[in-house]
Amino acid sequence: MFGELGKDEKGWGLTTLGECCVLNPKRPRNIDDNLMVSFVPMPSVSEDGHIDCSDIRPYKEVKKGFTYFAENDVLFAKITPCMENGKGAVAEGLEGKIGSGSTEFHVLRPIMGKSNPYWLYILTMFKSFRGEARKVMTGTGGQLRVPVSFLNEYPISLPPIELQNEFETIVRQSDKSKYICNVTRRLLC
């Protein structure tokens, strides 16, 4: 379904990741300060696609100084060594359908009718994708980060949304933890 990243082996045409999703979406201004939301620090996201959303806080406590995301957004750890280790997940089960968390996440929001969160997530898990991301990390003192420009400009071949949705259906019908690990290993190796 994916083909080789950056190539158009399937004939779908090349585009960029930035054309397939909204990167680091802006926080809406109309969120009620008393809404209970999920707080997701880096340790709450695993290397195999799991996210722990059990830390619930009032929005007013986490609306500043943290990364905003919403249900079905994809979290991608941008800092070393978390990025190299594969930290990332589809944000699901968020209290109030909203999350706030580590500033060391890039957020990829699927575009309705164009991209699927599971397709985006698996794409970001490829070893080749993370290897390319590693080459462009910037920073000093062991605090290297993937710039958003890498995600924005990364070339991809975009499968039809129907195929992406079929992929999600397969993921949801399987034991998610085992399936994601096995699929990830097959696709990334």
What ranges do the domains of the chain cover? 14-188
**pLDDT number for residue 1:** 58
**pLDDT number for residue 189:** 41
Q: What is the average pLDDT across 100-125?
A: 96
5-10 contacts at long range (C-beta below 8 A, 24 or more positions apart): 5/123, 5/126, 5/128, 5/129, 5/155, 5/156, 6/154, 6/155, 6/156, 7/157, 8/157, 9/157, 10/157, 10/159
For 100-112, the DSSP string reads EE-TTEEEEEEPT
For 46-84, the DSSP string reads -TTS-B----EEEHHHHSSSSEEEETT-EEEE-BTTHHH
| pLDDT band, very low/low/confident/very high, at 32 (cuts 50, 70, 90) | very high
**pLDDT number for residue 188:** 47
Kindly report the CATH number that applies to the domain delimited by 14-188: 3.90.220.20
Q: What is the average pLDDT across 10-25?
A: 93
Q: For 40-75, how does the pLDDT look when each residue is reduced to its tens digit (9 = 90+)?
A: 999 999 998 999 999 999 999 999 999 999 999 999
- pTM here is 0.88
- Mean pLDDT across the chain, nearest whole number? 90
Is the confidence at residue 24, as pLDDT, over 60? yes
Q: For 123-155, how does the pLDDT look when each residue is reduced to its tens digit (9 = 90+)?
A: 999 999 999 999 999 998 789 999 999 999 999
